């Protein structure tokens, strides 16, 4: 009788608790994956070949963790009256939408259900501000260029973005031809508003470098109608606009994934994050960039404490650690709480085997807003740092801006990891991370501000390969084409230092038919395109290129 009374009391307490709960979204965790139709012996049924190959190349075995949640369990939860939202095989859980407390009780009583946790309830407005530091944008002033009538572009013309790339040795890796080609980066963010209209991504779309999209909040494929934050983040990696913005991995391929519901802050977004990371794994991503972090929520009962920052407590941190165990490099912004009471890094930056990224300014001084380490269990955090003050990017067509935040430091590192990994493809993800740390300027004396410091990816490349990348020490006329020409000629010229060059074209009688003067930036390949004067006769011409050190003459043929 006493046992029955206790069970009755427990039932009444649960009924009262659920009856007063205005939550609408819950995470339902299952006890097991029994009777699943999937097997680790047939991974092609739930993983792409690229994901399988990534594991194989790094000696990573498949496990029950890789197997999807039991669909029979999911169907029974659905039949109970809940709407299924997202699935997580790593957490063996699903998220559901439901406003009926009785339905939630019935789900809790299912024999295969381990727990039901409320993760969201409706609010009129968000209590926790998001992206507060990153909103500090202003337009990047256009650089003055001589003779603007020249159609000027530069294969390595970073424009105002040069500093944020060269700080990491990225210009040298790019010079050697390593720009992320063949690597896949999943960008997990709050949306990619009108990224499909921003010119800095033209090459990504033209060359099919955007492999796909998915929105884990709206559960559809349109990520271009939500928040602009991911657009800005993506531009620092994949942007490609000469003279304005060159990202750290402009030749990488991308999956664009939305996990963040920007108007609110609830712990369900951590669950979404894990689902997005699993998706990135399953489609074969090599690298994840996440410029997201969680500390406080609109429901303060869900708030993290510093003690949670041990890499094994928060859902997103657990997911980030699992993602790393699958052979992916996870880069995550450290957070922007360095000058507010929270102070510490955020979730999932506390995960152990990832790169949590702090922010420095152009002079490599730590930003006051950059979140501080260490982790709760005393590990070095952040791991590395990159420019997160006045970082150049784009989030609307026709306008290049600078903004502040560790959100923009993290993707710089993610892109550089892609370019570096392209250069040293035989390294595992863990080995890449280690080499990146070893290349940092304070590797031997890490601290809680910049971690191991600012990486030098060109130095890391030298450490692994024994090959040192250096700029050419002399000017080079790299290409004059087409030749024979019809109406158009392109000259590609490497400038060892900042200079003007003069281009003159003469006919066989020595009469000048064209003159151009071009400003060339130091240590860069400059491409000068120009139309030949209309009506000139077919035959032989001579191009003379004059620099302050030398003169070169080349023969041209007009068709």
Specify if 155 maps to a domain: no
Domain match, 512 and 364 both: no
- Whole-angstrom Cα distance, residue 414 to residue 247? 10
- What is the H or E stretch that residue 138 is in? strand 138-139
Q: Taking 90 as the threshold, does the pLDDT of residue 551 lie above it?
A: no
- Whole-angstrom Cα distance, residue 294 to residue 347? 5
CA angle 366, 239, 224 (to 5 degrees): 105
Q: SS3 of 408, please?
A: helix
Local confidence band at 529 (pLDDT 50, 70, 90 cut-offs): confident
Specify if 250 maps to a domain: yes
Least reliable range by pLDDT among 130-139, 198-207, 304-313: 130-139
- Whole-angstrom Cα distance, residue 175 to residue 170? 8
Return the number of other C-beta atoms located less than 10 Å from residue 162's C-beta. Answer: 18
Residues with Cβ < 8 Å from 115, sequence gap 6 or more? Answer: 28, 29, 108
The candidate with the shortest Cα–Cα distance to 201, out of 238, 166, 253, is: 238
Contact 248, 170 (CB under 8 A): yes
Q: What is the pLDDT of residue 473?
A: 76
Local confidence band at 132 (pLDDT 50, 70, 90 cut-offs): low
Specify if 14 maps to a domain: no
- CATH at residue 87: 3.30.70
Local confidence band at 128 (pLDDT 50, 70, 90 cut-offs): low
State the maximum Cα–Cα separation within the chain, in Å, rounded to a whole number. Answer: 116
Domain final position from 65, 91, 120: 120
Local confidence band at 4 (pLDDT 50, 70, 90 cut-offs): very low
Q: Taking 60 as the threshold, does the pLDDT of residue 376 lie above it?
A: yes
Specify if 13 maps to a domain: no
pLDDT > 90 in the chain, percent: 77
Domain final position from 465, 485, 516: 465
Q: What is the pLDDT of residue 146?
A: 33
Q: What is the pLDDT of residue 333?
A: 98
Return the number of other C-beta atoms located less than 10 Å from residue 529's C-beta. Answer: 13
Structure tokens at 31: 């006890």
Q: Taking 50 as the threshold, does the pLDDT of residue 67 lie above it?
A: yes
- Whole-angstrom Cα distance, residue 274 to residue 87? 9
Specify if 10 maps to a domain: no
Q: What is the pLDDT of residue 127?
A: 55
- Whole-angstrom Cα distance, residue 323 to residue 98? 29
**Residue-wise pLDDT tens digits, 208-265:** 999 999 999 999 999 999 999 999 999 999 999 988 999 999 999 999 999 999 989 9
Q: How does strand 329-333 pair with strand 355-360?
A: parallel
Q: List residues bridging with 366 in a β-sheet.
A: 360
Q: Taking 90 as the threshold, does the pLDDT of residue 143 lie above it?
A: no
What string of DSSP letters covers 171-230?
HHHHHTT-S-TT-EEEEEES--TTGGG-GGGHHHHHTT-EEEEEETTTTBS--TTS-SHH
**Residue-wise pLDDT tens digits, 509-525:** 999 999 988 888 777 77
Give the chain's radius of gyration (CA, Å). 27
- CATH at residue 303: 3.40.50.200
Residues with Cβ < 8 Å from 192, sequence gap 6 or more? Answer: 213, 223, 224, 226, 228, 230, 231, 234, 256, 258
- pLDDT (mean) for 536-545: 93
Q: List residues bridging with 117 in a β-sheet.
A: 27
Local confidence band at 495 (pLDDT 50, 70, 90 cut-offs): confident
Contact 102, 34 (CB under 8 A): no
Q: What is the pLDDT of residue 140?
A: 60
Domain match, 361 and 397 both: yes
Domain match, 503 and 440 both: no
**Residue-wise pLDDT tens digits, 461-492:** 999 999 999 877 778 787 788 999 988 898 87
| pLDDT, mean over the chain | 89
**Residue-wise pLDDT tens digits, 443-459:** 999 999 999 999 999 99
- What is the H or E stretch that residue 329 is in? strand 329-333
**Residue-wise pLDDT tens digits, 322-362:** 999 999 999 999 999 999 999 999 999 999 999 999 999 99
Q: Taking 50 as the threshold, does the pLDDT of residue 3 lie above it?
A: no
Domain match, 449 and 538 both: no
Domain match, 364 and 482 both: no
Domain match, 254 and 331 both: yes
Core vs surface per residue 4-39: b (16+ CB within 10 A) or e: eeeeeeeeeeeeeebeeeebbbbbbebeebeebebe
Contact 261, 269 (CB under 8 A): yes
Domain match, 371 and 482 both: no
Specify if 136 maps to a domain: no
- pLDDT (mean) for 367-391: 97
Specify if 148 maps to a domain: no
Q: How does strand 93-97 pair with strand 138-139?
A: unpaired
- Whole-angstrom Cα distance, residue 335 to residue 294? 8
**Residue-wise pLDDT tens digits, 205-219:** 999 999 999 999 999
Domain match, 485 and 461 both: no
Specify if 392 maps to a domain: yes
Residue 534 belongs to domain spanning: 476-558
Domain match, 294 and 223 both: yes
Q: Taking 50 as the threshold, does the pLDDT of residue 429 lie above it?
A: yes
Q: Taking 70 as the threshold, does the pLDDT of residue 123 lie above it?
A: no
- Whole-angstrom Cα distance, residue 70 to residue 59? 27
Q: What is the pLDDT of residue 526?
A: 74
CA angle 314, 319, 321 (to 5 degrees): 95
Q: How many domains does the chain have?
A: 3
Return the number of other C-beta atoms located less than 10 Å from residue 470's C-beta. Answer: 10
Domain match, 231 and 104 both: no
Domain match, 246 and 299 both: yes
Structure tokens at 292: 């997201």
Domain final position from 420, 437, 465: 465
**Residue-wise pLDDT tens digits, 279-323:** 999 999 999 999 999 999 999 999 999 999 999 999 999 999 999
The owner of tokens 């030398």 is 550
Contact 241, 276 (CB under 8 A): no
- CATH at residue 546: 2.60.40.2550
The owner of tokens 């009444």 is 12
Q: What is the pLDDT of residue 122?
A: 65
Domain match, 240 and 384 both: yes
């Amino acid at each position: 009788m006493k046992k029955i009374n206790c069970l009755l009391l427990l039932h009444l307490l649960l009924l009262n608790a659920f009856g007063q709960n205005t939550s609408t979204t819950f995470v339902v965790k299952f006890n097991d994956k029994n009777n699943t139709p999937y097997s680790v012996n047939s991974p092609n049924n739930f993983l792409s070949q690229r994901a399988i190959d990534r594991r194989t190349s790094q000696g990573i075995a498949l496990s029950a963790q890789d197997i999807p949640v039991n669909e029979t369990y999911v169907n029974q939860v659905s039949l109970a009256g809940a709407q299924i939202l997202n699935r997580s095989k790593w957490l063996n859980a699903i998220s559901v939408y439901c406003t009926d407390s009785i339905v939630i009780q019935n789900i809790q009583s299912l024999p295969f259900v381990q727990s039901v946790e409320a993760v969201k309830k409706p609010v009129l407005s968000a209590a926790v501000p998001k992206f507060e530091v990153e909103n500090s944008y202003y337009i990047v002033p256009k650089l003055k260029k001589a003779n603007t009538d020249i159609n000027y572009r530069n294969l390595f013309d970073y424009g105002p973005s040069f500093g944020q790339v060269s700080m990491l040795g990225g210009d040298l890796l790019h010079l050697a031809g390593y720009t992320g080609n063949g690597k896949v980066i999943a960008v997990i963010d709050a949306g990619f508003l009108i990224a499909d209209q921003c010119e800095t991504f033209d090459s990504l779309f033209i060359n099919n470098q955007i492999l796909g999209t998915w929105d884990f909040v709206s559960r559809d494929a349109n990520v271009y109608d939500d928040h602009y934050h991911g657009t800005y983040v993506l531009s620092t990696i994949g942007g490609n606009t000469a003279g304005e913005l060159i990202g750290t991995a402009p030749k990488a391929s991308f999956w664009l994934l939305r996990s963040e519901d920007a108007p609110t802050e609830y712990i369900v977004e951590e669950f979404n994050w894990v689902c997005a990371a699993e998706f990135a794994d399953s489609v074969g991503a090599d690298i994840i960039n996440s410029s997201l972090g969680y500390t406080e929520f609109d429901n303060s009962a869900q708030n993290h404490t510093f003690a949670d920052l041990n890499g094994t407590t928060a859902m997103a941190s657990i997911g980030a650690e699992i993602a790393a165990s699958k052979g992916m490099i996870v880069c995550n912004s450290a957070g922007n709480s360095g000058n507010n009471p929270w102070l510490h890094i955020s979730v999932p930056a506390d995960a152990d085997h990832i790169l949590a990224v702090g922010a420095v300014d152009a002079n490599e001084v730590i930003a006051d807003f950059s979140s501080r380490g260490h982790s709760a269990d005393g590990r070095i955090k952040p791991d590395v740092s990159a420019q997160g003050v006045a970082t150049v990017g784009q989030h609307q067509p026709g306008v290049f801006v600078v903004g502040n935040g560790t959100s923009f430091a993290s993707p710089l590192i993610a892109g550089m990891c892609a370019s570096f990994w392209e250069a040293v493809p035989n390294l595992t993800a863990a080995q890449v991370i280690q080499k990146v740390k070893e290349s940092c300027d304070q590797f031997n004396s890490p601290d809680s501000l910049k971690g191991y410091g600012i990486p030098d990816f060109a130095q890391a490349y030298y450490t692994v390969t024994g090959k040192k990348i250096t700029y050419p020490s002399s000017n080079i006329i790299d290409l004059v084409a087409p030749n024979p020409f019809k109406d158009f000629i392109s000259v590609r010229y490497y400038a060892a230092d900042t200079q003007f060059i003069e281009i003159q074209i003469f006919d066989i009688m020595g009469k000048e038919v064209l003159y151009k003067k071009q400003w060339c930036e130091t240590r860069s390949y400059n491409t000068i395109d120009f139309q030949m004067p209309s009506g000139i006769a077919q035959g032989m011409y001579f191009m003379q290129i004059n620099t302050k050190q030398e003169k070169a003459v080349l023969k041209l043929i007009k068709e």
